[in-house]
Amino acid sequence: MLYEVVNPADSYFEKGSGELSTDLDSLHIQNAVSDGGSVVLRYHFYNGLVAEGASGLKAFPIPGDPVGFIEVLGPTSNVNIHARH
């Protein structure tokens, strides 16, 4: 299944900041700056994602969205997110 990604007007970060790059099946955050101990990306969360360089991932609730965004817990300055293999 393929999805079209629409660039948000301001940022891919809902909470926190950094530099985001993407590959076909992974997200890379460089120079991550957390806000309250986490960074939230405006990408939908799904089970099976793993993060290298963070203590974990969970769904960040968004009103009206049954899935939620990706919340990166305890990020270091560089985080790689990808599907579990």
Q: What is the DSSP letter of 48?
A: T
What pLDDT sits at residue 26?
A: 93
What pLDDT sits at residue 9?
A: 66
> Which residue ranges of the chain lie beneath pLDDT 70?
1-9, 85
pTM for the full model? 0.87
pLDDT in tens, 35-55: 999 999 999 999 999 999 999
What pLDDT sits at residue 53?
A: 98
Rounded Cα distance, 3 and 6, in Å = 10
What pLDDT sits at residue 7?
A: 61
